[in-house]
């Protein structure tokens, strides 16, 4: 059996990679870019630094964390009425996902909900050159965008080659300014991508190699980057790990953690990585009996189990590590985050139904019913 692998055409990885943006544009034959970013990137001076390497263009800096369709409409209008030949996406997953959506809607029109799964969007939008500033989503190398339908409180998963950036400039130096909380949330997101890609029913030999390597890079370096944001070696490993994890899940898909995480984000505005972190230990405990050997491999790749450990021992060590990691990275419970208990419990069935509709739980080694997902949500309390 063969596997289809989709990747950006150009990857520049390492210190200073973002300074290659001018040359990359020339290689792609582009000369009139729109930079899509957020206000933090402007304040940090990253936009100005990028502009020094670029031909004159324009900036759309009004993207928001966990982007909604409303937040990108003005960007779409800019593309419809401007003469841009590419989009440069600068920021975390939110500006990059916003840029991907703007690139498609600006060229093909319609509403974002027209493009959500089960539709597969393979038609190209404007070419996107992605420059990530978090070591998390891997969006720079994925055929995925996630946009919230603000009218229906639904985080829509949108998939297809049309959302794959044509180039990714992966420069860990841009992550040196990340505060500890965002470092933790985005880092656990990347770790979750790698684990879910590896245990996914759609995993293949190529995605396995990327996922295992990602776990080896992320697991020993996440705590280091959290405690000391200036640790360049840890930042570099996290950044490469996040991109590899993105490549792995984009080609093998994510599973139950992500499926259940998106509705928590949509209803309660919990940052994506944080809702993943809340779910990762209990969903792993639920899923583990269906893929003991695979989860044991994860524990060994993360260096929390020895090669000589039995699968059973490695599984136990993996669960212990996921709980310990959340404690050390100060991941709050839903209650500590400020979510109201009654509202959460009233929404568990709706959230489980939305999770199911996204398709992600169907890739899990153990496929849950809606009732089982409701119980998993309740367990978080
Ligand atoms: P983010 O982009 O929302 O950024 C979080 C915060 O960190 C923002 O305030 C941002 O301004 C700030 N920030 C980013 N980089 C910084 C830096 N270097 N220094 C200082 N501050 C910085 O966070 P994220 O976790 O990268 O992205 C989350 C979004 O990505 C969610 O909407 C999620 O659903 C989506 N996502 C997409 C994919 C995909 O493949 N497309 C995968 C996973 C998640």
Residues 261 and 130 in one domain: no
Residues 186 and 279 in one domain: yes
Residues 70 and 199 in one domain: no
Residues 188 and 308 in one domain: yes
Residues 289 and 338 in one domain: yes
| Contact present, 40 and 90 (Cβ < 8 Å) | no
**pLDDT for the residue 231:** 98
**pLDDT for the residue 129:** 98
Cβ 187 under 6 angstroms from ligand 1: no
Residues 222 and 366 in one domain: yes
- CATH code of the domain containing 47: 3.40.50.1970
Residue 5 lies in a domain: no
- CATH code of the domain containing 294: 1.20.1090.10
Cβ 94 under 6 angstroms from ligand 1: yes
Residue 238 lies in a domain: yes
Question: How many structural domains does the chain have?
Answer: 2
CA of 193 to the centre of ligand 1 (A): 14
**pLDDT for the residue 152:** 86
Q: Model's pTM, two decimal places?
A: 0.97
Residues 153 and 261 in one domain: no
**pLDDT for the residue 56:** 86
CA of 67 to the centre of ligand 1 (A): 10
Residues 154 and 217 in one domain: no
> Which of 126, 157, 175 represents a domain boundary (last residue)?
175
Residue 145 lies in a domain: yes
Full residue range of the structural domain in which residue 188 is found:
180-380
Residues 200 and 109 in one domain: no
What's the average pLDDT block by block, 10 residues per block, for the chain (381 residues)?
A: 96 98 97 98 98 93 96 97 97 98 97 95 97 98 95 90 98 98 97 98 98 98 98 98 98 96 94 95 98 98 98 98 98 96 97 93 97 96 86
Q: Which atom of ligand 1 is nearest to the CA of 189?
A: 43
Residues 14 and 133 in one domain: yes
**pLDDT for the residue 334:** 95
CA of 49 to the centre of ligand 1 (A): 20
Residues 141 and 217 in one domain: no
**pLDDT for the residue 241:** 98
**pLDDT for the residue 23:** 97
CA of 46 to the centre of ligand 1 (A): 15
Residues 192 and 321 in one domain: yes
> Which of 175, 199, 225 represents a domain boundary (last residue)?
175
């Amino acid at each position: 059996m063969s596997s289809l692998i989709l990747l950006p055409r150009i990857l520049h990885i390492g210190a200073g990679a973002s300074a290659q943006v001018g040359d990359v544009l020339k290689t792609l034959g582009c000369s009139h870019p729109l930079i899509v970013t957020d206000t933090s990137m402007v304040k940090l001076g990253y936009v100005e630094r990028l502009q020094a390497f670029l031909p004159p263009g324009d900036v759309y800096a009004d993207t928001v964390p966990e982007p909604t369709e409303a937040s990108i409409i003005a960007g779409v209008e800019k593309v419809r009425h401007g003469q841009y030949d590419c989009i440069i996406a600068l920021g975390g997953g939110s500006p990059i996902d916003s840029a991907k959506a703007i690139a498609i809607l600006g060229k093909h029109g319609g509403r974002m909900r027209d493009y959500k799964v089960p539709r597969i969007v393979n038609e190209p939008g404007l070419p996107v050159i992605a420059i990530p500033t978090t070591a998390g989503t891997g969006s720079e190398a994925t055929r995925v965008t996630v946009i919230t339908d603000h009218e229906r409180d639904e985080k829509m998963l949108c998939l297809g080659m049309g959302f794959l950036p044509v180039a990714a400039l992966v420069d860990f130096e841009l992550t040196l300014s990340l505060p500890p909380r965002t470092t933790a949330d985005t880092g656990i997101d990347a770790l979750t991508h790698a684990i879910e890609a590896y245990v996914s029913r759609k995993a293949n030999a190529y995605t396995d190699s990327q996922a295992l390597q990602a776990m080896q890079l992320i697991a020993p370096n996440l705590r280091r980057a959290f405690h000391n944001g200036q640790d360049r070696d840890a930042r570099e490993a996290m950044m490469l790990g996040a991109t590899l994890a993105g490549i792995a899940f984009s080609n093998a898909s994510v599973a139950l953690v992500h499926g259940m995480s998106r509705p928590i984000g949509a209803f309660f505005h919990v940052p994506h990585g944080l809702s993943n972190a809340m779910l990762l230990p209990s969903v792993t405990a639920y899923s583990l009996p269906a893929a003991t050997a695979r989860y044991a491999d994860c524990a060994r790749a993360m260096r929390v189990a020895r090669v000589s450990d039995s699968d059973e021992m490695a599984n136990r060590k993996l669960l212990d590590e996921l709980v310990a990691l959340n404690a050390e990275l100060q991941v709050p419970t839903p209650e500590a985050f400020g979510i109201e208990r009654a509202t959460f419990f009233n929404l568990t069935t709706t959230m489980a139904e939305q999770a199911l509709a996204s398709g992600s739980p169907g890739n899990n080694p153990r496929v849950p019913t809606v009732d089982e997902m409701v119980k998993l949500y309740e367990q978080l309390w």
